[in-house]
Structure 1
Amino acid sequence: MITVGVDLAAEAVRTAVAWLDWSDGGARVREVVVGADDDLIVEALMGADKAGVDCPFGWPDRFVDFVTAHRNGHVEVPAEVAGRTWRGDLTYRVTDRVVVESTGQRPLSVSADRIGHTAMRCAALLAELARRGRPVDRAGNGVVVEVYPAASLRCWGLTSNGYKRAANLGTLGLLVDQLQETASWLDLGTHEQLCRRSDDATDAVVAAITARAAALGRVTAPTQEQAPTARSEGWIALPTGALRDLGRG
């Protein structure tokens, strides 16, 4: 099995892609590329058995309805409801709220934060996959699944905050140590030093590991009630099993 992890950013310079080759009870990091353009990402996703992409796959349905209503005339604001309350319904997706309730980790708002730029790029990538005949299901049932590396790390009991950017290389190194200690089946090989220098590279590896969990059915799935919304808004797959068990399949 080949899983791919994509730590997506609005531009190639902060985008990383990792390929993991799973066999013989373990996983070897085949390649990690930092500075990935759209063509490289699409080719990686086309060749994956399962891929985890760190980016919202859609916008909150209520936000889309709100913007559409505003475009066509005037919106209807809920009466006697505080602005912060009704705006919150436009800001976070159903899956974002589930992640907060489950892990305490709050995803960025795709409708109110700069990650919206990244989501636009992601939408174009998913469209290209569909054009090439690869199944795209925003709820995660196709080749790609939406992941959130910080939340995955928290589910596995590893360092999930404070490892981003060059000023925190010490914490990033600690995270890589934890990852290798807990996932003794993981072989970073010659890519270990890159992961210690680049949080983007490490997040891509974590995304690829989460994709493995998704392929094995060891992640959260939307309820029957949540499923229709997940198919339009996207769904963040949270690992439900121990990290140490993923190497055994």
Structure 2
Amino acid sequence: MQTLGIDLAAEPKKTGLAWVDWSGPKARVSNLAIGASDEELLHSMADADKTGIDCPLGWPRQFVAFITKHQDDHVLVEEGVAADWRRKLSYRETDLHVKRTVPGIQGLSVSTDRIGVTTMRCAALLSRLAAEGLPVVRTGSGPVAEVYPAASLVRWGFSHKGYKGSKGHGRRAQLVDELQRAVPWLDLGVYAADCKRSDDALDAVLASMTARAAARGLTEPVPAAAQEAATVEGWIALPRTGTSIGDLVSE
């Protein structure tokens, strides 16, 4: 089995792409690159058994309705606490679910933060993928799943803090070493140095590993009450509580 992890950015130069080959009790990072064009991403997603994309797959339904109403007419502000009303426009149901269930994790708002620009690129990619005949299901049940590497780390028992950006180089190198000690079955090979140097590279590998979890049924199912929202807004694949990172490989 081959999984693909994509740490998507608005521009190709910051987009990480990681292939992981899974065979029995072993896994190997077979390719890792930073700087992936739309064409490279589309070809890669079409070839992978399962892809994990670190990017929202949609926008909050209430935000879309709010913008549509504003375009056509005047909007009405809900009565009550203004912050509660804005929160419904800012965060998807999956974002709120992650915040409730994964300690210390607060995702970005796709409707009010710069990640929205990346999501525009993602939406265009998924539309092209669907047009080419690959089913795109925003709940993650198809060949593509939305992932959140930091949340996956927490669910697998690692700290997600402090590994991002140039200031996080030391912690990032430490985290890669921790991963290699905890999962000796994962062969990073020559790409270990890339993961220590770039959080885009490391997140792409973590995204690929989370894709493996989703493919093996080791991620949380979408709650029944959130099915409708997840179909439109997207849903983050979270490793299930009670599973371990070791469950990703077959004995």
Aligned positions, number: 248
TM-score by length of structure 1 reads 0.98
Deviations along 1:50-84, whole A, 9 cap, x unmatched?
010000000000000000110110111112x1221
Matches within 5 A, 1:63-82: 63-79=63-79, 81-82=80-81
The answer to whether structure 1 residue 60 and structure 2 residue 60 are counterparts is yes
CA distance in 1, matches of 2:239, 2:182: 15
Query: Given that residues 53 and 147 in structure 1 are in contact (C-alpha distance below 8 angstroms), is that contact kept between their aligned partners in structure 2?
Result: yes
Once the two structures are TM-superposed, the CA of residue 248 in structure 1 deviates from its matched residue by: 1.8
SS at 2:221 equivalent: coil
Q: CA RMSD in A?
A: 0.9
Paired position in structure 2 for 1:2: 2
Q: 2 CA distance for matches of 1:124 and 1:234? A: 15
For residue 224 of structure 2, give the secondary structure of its aligned residue in structure 1: coil
> Where do residues 5-16 of structure 1 align in structure 2 (5 Å cutoff)?
5-16=5-16
SS in 2 for 1:173: helix
C-alpha separation between the residues in 1 aligned to 2:59 and 2:109? 9
Letter in 1 for 2:225: E
- Write the distance in 1 (CA, Å) between the matches of 2:113 and 2:159: 24
Q: Which runs of 5+ in 2 are unaligned?
A: none
Inter-partner Cα distance in structure 2 for 1:167 and 1:97 = 28
After TM superposition, the structure 1 = structure 2 runs for residues 1-249 of structure 1, keeping only pairs within 5 Å, are: 1-79=1-79, 81-104=80-103, 105-240=105-240, 241-248=243-250
Q: What is the rounded CA distance, in whole Å, between the counterparts of 1:33 and 1:170 in structure 2? A: 21
CA-CA distance at 1:24 after TM superposition:
2.8
Gaps of 5+ in 1: none
How far apart, in 2, do the equivalents of 1:40 and 1:21 lie? 18
Runs of 4+ in 1 over 2 A off after TM superposition: none
- 1:184–1:244: 8 Å Cα contact kept in structure 2? no
The residue type equivalent to 1:166 in the other structure is S
What TM-score, normalized to structure 2? 0.97
